[in-house]
């Protein structure tokens, strides 16, 4: 019975998770994106489903199989990801943002492929900031009422503790998870630094599947007693 309880520690919970990069189109054949593999988010979706949660996975463009029993919504851009999240978040009790959302998108989208004009001139390009999906969700009435537990990730190249601590407060999330680098994008393993209101905890180097299960345990322990 104890083993069963442990295995189904997210029973009755509904997890919404974002994963992968976003792709911000410049014209019909080009765009900007990043090297996020989506592996951590997909591993979390799988681990949470195995722990008894209903799981909805909003995925940017990645070539990964959908974990069994998980509902997947594919998106390309940050704005599409935000729209998908907003359409699903109402039924969620946990939101985990692992996606490497493009911070900026091209200010203009060209309907037609941009052609070289033969002069050697390069096109000028300007950018606008994308919406912060996690911050928006974390500031919603649902989250503020304690009905939605929000978890953010942080990829930092330096001063992880300092930046991740500041990011946690800026985003207004109870739990912020830092990738203990270097260069975790695309790899099958990682190490994580958990930062919450009480302090920090390290999940030492392991496969992303193992870390995902440990993170699910840590989140289950932190869920408010009455949820939803």
The set of catalytic residues is 34
* Bridge partner residues of 54 (DSSP): 14
Q: How far is the CB of 19 from Ca ion (least distance, A)?
A: 15
- Tell me how far apart the alpha carbons of residues 190 and 136 are, in angstroms, rounded to a whole number: 27
Exposed e or buried b per residue across 126-143, where buried means at least 16 C-beta atoms within 10 angstroms of its C-beta: eeeebebbbbebbebebb
Is 176 one of the annotated binding-site residues?
no
Q: Which is nearer to ligand CTP, 60 or 67 (CB)?
A: 60
Is 203 one of the annotated binding-site residues?
no
Give, as ranges, the residues between 63 and 122 that touch Ca ion (CB under 5 A).
103
Closest CA to 10 of 224, 219, 225, 226: 219
Residue 152 binding result from ligand CTP, Ca ion, none, given CB thresholds of 5 to 8 Å by partner type: ligand CTP
Q: Is the peptide bond before 4 cis (omega within 30 degrees of 0)?
A: no
What is the number of the residue whose Cβ is closest to Ca ion?
103
Q: How far is the CB of 154 from Ca ion (least distance, A)?
A: 9
Cβ within 8 Å of residue 188, ≥6 positions away: 39, 207, 208
Cβ within 8 Å of residue 158, ≥6 positions away: none
Is 167 one of the annotated binding-site residues?
yes
Is 94 one of the annotated binding-site residues?
no
129 is an interface residue for Ca ion by CB under 5 A: no
Burial of 111 (0-12, 13-18, 19+ CB in 10 A): exposed
Is 185 one of the annotated binding-site residues?
no
Residue 94 binding result from ligand CTP, Ca ion, none, given CB thresholds of 5 to 8 Å by partner type: none
Q: Which is nearer to ligand CTP, 119 or 126 (CB)?
A: 126
Residue 132 binding result from Ca ion, ligand CTP, none, given CB thresholds of 5 to 8 Å by partner type: ligand CTP
- What tokens appear for 6 in the block? 């442990």
Q: Which is nearer to Ca ion, 36 or 142 (CB)?
A: 36
The CA-based dihedral angle spanning residues 63, 66, 71, 76, taken in that order and rounded to the nearest 10 degrees: 0
* Site of interaction with ligand CTP (CB under 6 A): 18, 78, 97, 99, 101, 103, 130-134, 152-155, 167
Q: Which is nearer to ligand CTP, 32 or 114 (CB)?
A: 32
Going by the annotation, the residues of the binding site are 103, 113, 131-134, 153, 167, 171
Contacting positions for Ca ion (CB under 5 A) = 103
Going by the annotation, the residues of the binding site for CTP are 103, 113, 131-134, 153, 167, 171
């Amino acid at each position: 019975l104890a083993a069963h309880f442990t295995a189904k520690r997210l029973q009755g919970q509904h997890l919404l998770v974002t994963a992968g990069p976003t792709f911000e189109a410049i014209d019909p054949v080009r765009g900007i994106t990043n090297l996020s593999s989506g592996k951590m988010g997909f591993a979390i979706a799988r681990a949470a489903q195995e722990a008894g949660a209903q799981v909805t996975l909003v995925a940017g463009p990645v070539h990964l199989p959908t974990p069994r029993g998980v509902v997947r919504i594919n998106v390309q851009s940050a704005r599409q990801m935000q729209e998908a999240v907003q359409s699903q978040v109402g039924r969620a009790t946990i939101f985990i943002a692992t996606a490497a959302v493009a911070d900026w998108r091209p200010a203009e989208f060209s309907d037609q492929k941009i052609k070289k004009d033969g002069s050697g001139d390069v096109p000028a390009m300007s950018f606008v900031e994308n919406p912060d999906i996690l911050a928006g969700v974390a500031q919603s009435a649902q989250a503020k009422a304690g009905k939605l537990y929000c978890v953010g990730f942080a990829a930092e190249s330096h001063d992880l503790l300092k930046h991740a601590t500041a990011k946690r407060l800026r985003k207004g999330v109870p739990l912020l998870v830092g990738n203990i680098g270097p260069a975790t994008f695309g790899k099958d393993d990682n190490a994580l630094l958990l930062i919450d209101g009480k302090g920090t905890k390290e999940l030492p180097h392991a496969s992303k599947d193992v870390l995902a299960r440990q993170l699910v345990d840590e989140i289950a322990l932190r869920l408010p007693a009455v949820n939803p």
